[in-house]
Amino acid sequence: MKLFDHHLESIYEGLLHSDKFYRKKLIVFNSASFCGYTEQLKQFQDIFEQNSVIPIAVPTNEFGGQEPGDDFEIAQYYQHNFGVTFPVTKKIDLNHDFFKSYGKPDWNFNKYVFNEDHKFIKRFGSDVTPLEALRHD
């Protein structure tokens, strides 16, 4: 099963489709605004600006209630505080098909790396930086 078979919906762009990310490697991560790992958003944005990999933030609120806002508050917070311009999905919970297929995270900022054909490669924990995950996929 490929990533976009899971119906992830962007806050601003609607349902995400693979044709928008044609032949691009992806790194999807469960995000939270008030987590100690939130600073990783800067590194995700740098990766996006280098045009090498597309990060996709998937906000969740299951760990410590660290993502309490609604979808638009989340997107605004990411953009205002970290300059995020990469895709951010609507907030989902851990019962979403995405996590059922690729493994439920054990905390915020778990990273899920997908190849250029959008097939799953590997999941990394919160303490692995985005650059480290991309080096060790």
- Mean per-residue pLDDT pooled into runs of 10, the chain (137 residues): 76 78 93 97 97 93 96 96 96 94 96 93 97 88
Opening angle at CA 68, ends 62 and 69, nearest 5 = 135
Q: Which residues contact 121 (CB under 8 A, 6 or more apart)?
A: 113, 114, 115, 137
Q: CB burial class (10 A; 0-12, 13-18, 19+) of residue 69? A: middle
Catalytic residue among 35, 47, 53, 58: 35
Q: How far is the C-alpha of 92 from the C-alpha of 57, rounded, in Å?
A: 11
Distance of CA 3 to the CA centre of its chain: 12
Q: How far is the C-alpha of 64 from the C-alpha of 137, rounded, in Å?
A: 28
CATH code for the domain of 80:
3.40.30.10
The number of distinct structural domains making up the chain is 1
Q: What pLDDT is attached to residue 69? A: 94
Q: How far is the C-alpha of 52 from the C-alpha of 83, rounded, in Å?
A: 18
Q: What pLDDT is attached to residue 1? A: 64
Q: What pLDDT is attached to residue 137? A: 63
Q: Which residues contact 35 (CB under 8 A, 6 or more apart)?
A: 63, 64, 66, 67, 107, 108, 109
Residue 77 domain boundaries: 3-135
Cβ–Cβ under 8 Å, residues 25 and 52: yes
Residue 42 is a catalytic residue: no
